[in-house]
Amino acid sequence: MPVPRVVLESDVADKNVHFLAYLILVFLLWFTVSDGKKVNWRRASPWWVFLTMVAYGILDEWLQLYAVGRSCNAWDFLADLTGTLAGLGLFSALAFWPAGLVVTAIMIFGFTSVSRANLADTLPATSAAFVLSAFAILTAFWVQCLRLFGQRNHLRLNGVRWLTAALSAPLALVLTARLSSVILNKDFPVRDVIISTGAIIAVVVTIGLAGLFRKVEDRRA
C-alpha cells in the first residue's frame, strides 16, 4: 500500500520502524514454533526461522516495486535483517516470558524515537492506544516473570510485597521513558504517563484479584 500521508507528515525514521517490526515478528514466529524455549543454534528450527524471515524480508521489499510511492530498498532489508538477528540473539539467552518483557521494553523506547515529529500531536489516538496496550502487555510479562522467579527461588511474594514488586518495575520504566525522552529532546507527554500508569495499575489489580479469587476457590474445594 502507498505510504499514508500522516506517516509522511510525522517524518517517521523508516529504518527504526523496520528494525522494531522484524524484532517483534521474529519474537512471535520463534516462540510459536519453539514452545517458549530458548534458541539452540545446534538445532534446525532457529535456522528455518531465520531463513523464513529473510525470505519474508525479500518478498516484502520486492512487492513494494508495485506500490505507488514505494521502492525496493536494500537498506530497509538490512534493517529487517538486523531486527531478526537481534531477536534471535536475544532469544538465545532468554525464554518466552523474559524475552517478551525485553522486546516490549525495546518497543516502548523505540516508539519514542521512530518519529522526528510529536506523534502525540500528529497521531493522538494511535499514540494513546499504543501506550495503553504496550504498558499493559509489559506489566503482564513482568508479573509472570516475578511468578517464575519466585517459584524458582522458593520465594513467597504475597500481599504488599507482591503488589510493590508488581508495580515497581513497570512504573520505573514509565519514569525512565519520560526522563529519556526529555534528555533526547523527544516527547513522552504527561497524558501518556497517565495512560501508561493507569494501564499498569489496571493489569496488576486484575491479576491480583484473579489470584485472590483462585485462592478462595481452592479453600472452598
Give tens-digit pLDDT for 52-65: 999 999 999 999 88
- All 3 cell numbers of residue 78? 538490512
pLDDT in tens, 106-149: 998 887 666 555 665 666 777 788 889 999 999 999 999 998 88
- Picking from 104, 100, 99, 108, the residue whose alpha carbon sits closest to that of residue 131 is 108
211-221 pLDDT per residue, tens: 878 777 777 76
pLDDT tens profile 86-109: 999 999 999 999 999 999 999 988
Q: Which of 162, 161, 174 is nearest to 200 (CA)?
A: 174
Per-residue CA distances from 159 to 142, 163, 167, 170 (Å)? 17, 6, 12, 18
pLDDT of residue 179: 80
**199-210, pLDDT tens digit by residue?**
999 999 999 888
Going from the C-alpha of 99 to that of each of 5, 36, 94, 96, the distances in angstroms are: 34, 10, 5, 5
Alpha-carbon distance of 26 to 54, in angstroms, equals 11
Helices 190-220 and 159-183 cross at an angle (nearest 10°) of: 160
Q: Which residue has the higher pLDDT, 192 or 37?
A: 37
- Pure H helices in the chain: 5-10, 14-33, 45-63, 74-91, 96-111, 119-122, 124-152, 159-183, 190-220
Long-range CB contacts for residues 115-121, cutoff 8 Å, separation at least 24: 115/10, 115/11, 115/12, 115/13, 116/10, 116/11, 116/12, 116/13, 117/9, 117/10, 117/11, 118/187, 119/10, 119/187, 120/187, 120/189, 120/191, 120/192
| Under 8 Å between Cβ of 202 and 136 | yes
Q: Are the C-beta atoms of 103 and 27 separated by less than 8 Å? A: yes
The CA distance from 86 to 22, in Å, is: 9
